[in-house]
Chains A and B, each alone.
Chain A
Amino acid sequence: MTSPVGTSRRGMLIGTAALGLAAAVPGALRAAPYDGAAWRRYAERFLLPEGRIVDTGNKGISHSEGQGYGMLLAVAGGDRAAFDRLWGWTQRVLMVRGDGLVAWRWTPDGGVADRNNASDGDMLIAWALLRAAETWQAEAYRTAAAAIVKALAAGVLVEQAGLTVLLPGRDGFRKGETLVLNPSYWIFPAIRAFAALAGGERWGKLSDSGLVLLSKARFGGFQLPPDWMTLDAAGTVGIADGFKKQYGYDAVRVPLYLAMDGYRDPYYFRPFATLATKFGGSAVPATVSLPGGTTTQVAASVGMLAVYRLACKLAGAGDAVTVPPLAPDEDYYSTTLAHLSALAAQSLGIDP
């Protein structure tokens, strides 16, 4: 719960950040806010001149998700030139499917390594284009975004058990009458932006179904969502076979996207806050097996901790999580999560 004391500390932080001293605040217990300087550091580390974001934790490959995150952070960082380079490379290299969606995976050795799309990557790219159109008043971006959104609606939005849901990719996520879904592909603020486009009603339903599924898909002692879940024809949710049966690197983004969209119902943040506080807010395990609850020895990254800090605040668990500063060699995913958490906190008006 934010307290009056918190207010003054927050005020002090904003003051120091404005002077560019955020990293130097002694014993800083919070993630740095996201700003133009943060973007420049991000671009130096992960954006190659040709316009692709490198997943440094993943053998230097690139993917549609990284392009989408990069484009979003470039808009928020006010860097239109970088944005255009990212979008150009994405169009040139990844949009080779012919259906308006984006091939999800690219390797330096082999080029496009998997032509299937990853729906969250497409969504991030389209959403970033919409934000760019708004920020820089450029209709071309909006037109491009609308085309991707239309292709997504045609290719991956499906109805199941009375719910409008999002297939994680065009191919391979139907097992008989059961669908395999990824809760962290519900990028709520992007979905809301799509719903506001002409003919976007089904996206509004996707938002509603996301909240319903997140209420149903709670497993194990912490009541966490799985990285990959199933939804059968009767509306029953389960933990998907064929993937690690766990909560982890994917699902950690669930509270992040909810917060980014302005949700603040503690009910939706409590499972993540419970996990973080159980581990003292520092050595939080990166994954939890479901439904068993076995935790890995690997600790959550800085970026994941930033998400937990946010979740704790929204769950009413206060400043339970300590977020160390980003390390010089912090990987792409962790750094991205840290920046997005800061943006979400800033938009909600709480400490990052």
Chain B
Amino acid sequence: MTRPVLLSALLLAGIAATATGGGSAAWAQSNGGARALAPGVKVEVAPAPGSGSAPAAGKVDETALRYYARIGDGERMEAEIARLRALDPGWEPPKDLFAPQPTATGVDETPFWTLMSAGKVAEARAAIAEQRRKSPSWQPSDKLLQELELAESAGRIRSASDTKRWQEVVDAAAAQPEAVACNRLDNAWRLAEAYAELKQTDRAFDTYKTIVTTCPKAKERRDTIFKASRHLSPERLRELSALGATANPATGEDYSAVRSAEAELETGRLLERLGNAKPGALSAADLSRVQGIVRDKQDADGAIALGWYFQKQKNFAEAQSWFTQANEWAPSDKAAEGLVLAYNGLGNKAQARAAAAPWKGKSSRIDQALKAVDPPRGPSGPGGGRTAPQGPSELDRALARHDFAECLSIIRGTIARSGPTAALLQQRGWCLLELKRPSEAEAAFAEAQTLAAREPAKGGASAPGKAGSRGPAASGLPQTATPAQENAYGQAIARLATGDVTGLTRDLPRANLTATQRAEIRASLMATEAGRALEDKRYNDVLRLLDARKELEPEPRNLGIVRGWALYNLMRFDEAYVQFKSIDDRLSTEESREGVSTAWKTIYHDW
């Protein structure tokens, strides 16, 4: 690079000489050894080659090594020593590695390395360009340029993959294969994902395979299996796990966790199937495996899934034991709901009411479940003369089984026989919501409301079991919803489900809801808004919304993850890490692991 600069210096003199007659003298003035292009700014003209002190050809470039030594990054220093030795086996690390050293070229590269290490790649580029403008004879070391290009390629792969420009991910990786090596595992995963999205499954598999057979750390191999599970079939995943557990083992690494990753994924799949399973859909072996794992991990969500599995089989005793277990590991209205319905199935109404007690009036889920225990008067029997419930009706039993399709068909039959009531239509709304048919649910609640307005006697009546919990509004006790409020609440939930956030936010202040219901809807709205804010990259808004929401309800896991990413994107990496870690410690899933690992890598520049 010194040669062209020298030429240009000679040429400058030529221009200055010829330009005097042409009128451009004012532009490119000759001004002694320097030239003034803009007022007050002089640009250095290149020295003759040899007069500088660029490193001799063939000599090992120690710039990066000295930089690592200076900042005390032992790990990267060792790696760099190994790399340089590989380049030149005769080379020995300099003895004065830690001594301050004037740089060979007269330009100290430290500021550029510092910017780059801080992730300020664009700032490093800017500083280098400025330096090159001032000293045209200088050029940055090859190592610095390589590192910059690598960091930029990595950034490009990230942004292309964030915006789902998959082919660009592949192109960028092809142009800079080092950007997808083991030490930049996240990018290697993004490349594999890009192949998968481009339907090049074989290449996706090959990329994952390269990672699990060449990257030495067991944890990385294991994480790769989890990543791959989104894109590969169970068969190929098994192949990947087997390879990852055996290929190119590094000393001191325990790969048993790699093999078990596949089993954990299998458990996840089983639990998922459990959720939608028809009775008997799981083999005895699968079932006992899931039970064992759920017990090992004290996984409350898994226990609830198992509870419902048995509840649907009318195995109420087994269901009750799993819901109890879940409630012990992590008390929640979801676990209590199952417990209420399991006790009810066993005919043990006192226990059912006791299980509901902590949540009564606070959780619509529990209030719903209690209707199965103490059915409200009216909807299920035409007489209305009963003083106490006569055992669960057909509808109550369907609800207790979570058989919502059956719920609809029973209500359809009842309406066909004896006409609609507000309570029936409201129940229909709840069942439609459970079946994820929110628009129909909203209509059902609206219909119920219309009908309730024409049923003044029934509208004012309260269920016998709830009479005792009613207090004056001023007493501060949980307020039981009137049927009209239940309808309004159902409509609000349905509108949430259809995504009508704007309309709901507008109408919420005027809606006839209990304080608890209103708080619940507000919390849900804020959760939805927080999700949107995250998508729009309004990270401070995310935190503001989640904080406000937390005042109303404890933060569930999924919003905890959202909070983590908001913190991360605000570059509050330490807080993000703590957030992800606390979630991951409770139950490790793919998303919590991803948060922990991304935050960790960012903090420690471990890409």
Contact = CB atoms under 8 A, between A and B. Distances in A.
Contacts of A196: 38-41
A212 interface: yes
A245 to B, nearest CB: 13
A212 B8 contact: no
A1 B4 contact: yes
Contact of B24 (A10, A134, A261, A343): A343
Main secondary structure of the interface of A (DSSP, over half): helix
B43 interface: yes
B123 A212 contact: yes
Contact of A265 (B8, B133, B165): B133
B27 A76 contact: yes
Contact of B22 (A36, A215, A264, A291): A36
A2 interface: yes
B11 A10 contact: yes
Contacts of B4: 1-2
Contacts of A324: none
A349 B15 contact: yes
Contacts of A39: 23
B14 interface: yes
A91 interface: no
A192 B41 contact: yes
Interface in A10-31: 10-11, 14, 17-18
Given A39-B23, A263-B133, A265-B129, A192 B11 contact: no
A347 B122 contact: no
A126 B26 CA distance: 16
Contacts of B37: 189, 260-262, 347
- Which residue among A17, A218, A261, A348 has the maximum number of chain B CB atoms within 10 Å of its CB? A348
Contact of A208 (B39, B130, B165): B130
A349 B37 CA distance: 12
Contact of A36 (B23, B38, B128): B23
B593 to A, nearest CB: 26
A229 B36 CA distance: 32
Interface in B95-140: 121-123, 125-126, 128-130, 132-133, 136
B577 to A, nearest CB: 19
A212 B133 contact: no
Contacts of B133: 261-265
Contacts of B41: 192-193, 196
B179 to A, nearest CB: 14
A262 B122 contact: no
A267 B131 CA distance: 13
Contact of A267 (B129, B136, B171): B129
A38 to B, nearest CB: 9
A224 to B, nearest CB: 13
- Which residue among B25, B43, B129 has the maximum number of chain A CB atoms within 10 Å of its CB? B129
A296 interface: no
Contacts of A236: 537
A291 B164 CA distance: 12
Nearest to B175: A221
A350 B11 contact: yes
Contacts of A33: 22, 24
A75 interface: yes
A18 B18 contact: yes
B541 to A, nearest CB: 11
A2 B7 contact: yes
A194 B26 CA distance: 18
A7 interface: yes
A347 B27 contact: yes
B26 A264 contact: no
Given A10-B11, A346-B27, A192 B130 contact: no
A215 B126 contact: yes
Interface in B1-31: 4, 7-12, 14-15, 18-19, 21-28
Contact of A135 (B18, B26, B171): B26
Contacts of B27: 76, 343, 346-347
Nearest to A127: B38
A196 B130 CA distance: 16
Given A196-B40, A265-B129, A349 B26 contact: no
A78 interface: yes
A126 B209 CA distance: 61
A189 to B, nearest CB: 5
Contact of A35 (B23, B123, B171): B23
Given A36-B22, A135-B26, A343-B27, A193 B40 contact: yes
Given A76-B23, A264-B133, A346 B38 contact: no
Contacts of A100: none
Nearest to A39: B23
A196 B38 CA distance: 9
A101 interface: no
Interface in A215-231: 215-216, 218, 220-221, 223
A349 B11 contact: yes
Contact of A7 (B7, B22, B39, B165): B7
Contacts of A268: 125, 129
Contacts of A349: 7-9, 11-12, 15, 28
B168 interface: yes
A308 interface: no
Interface string A122-154: 000000001100110000000000000000000
23 contacts: A2-B7, A6-B7, A7-B7, A10-B11, A14-B14, A17-B18, A39-B23, A76-B24, A77-B23, A77-B24, A192-B41, A193-B38, A196-B38, A196-B41, A208-B126, A208-B130, A215-B122, A221-B168, A234-B539, A262-B43, A267-B125, A268-B125, A349-B9
Interface of B: 4, 7-12, 14-15, 18-19, 21-28, 35, 37-41, 43, 121-123, 125-126, 128-130, 132-133, 136, 156, 163, 165, 168, 171, 537, 539, 569-570
Closest 10 CB pairs of A and B: A211-B126, A36-B23, A196-B40, A35-B22, A78-B23, A349-B8, A215-B122, A349-B11, A265-B129, A135-B26
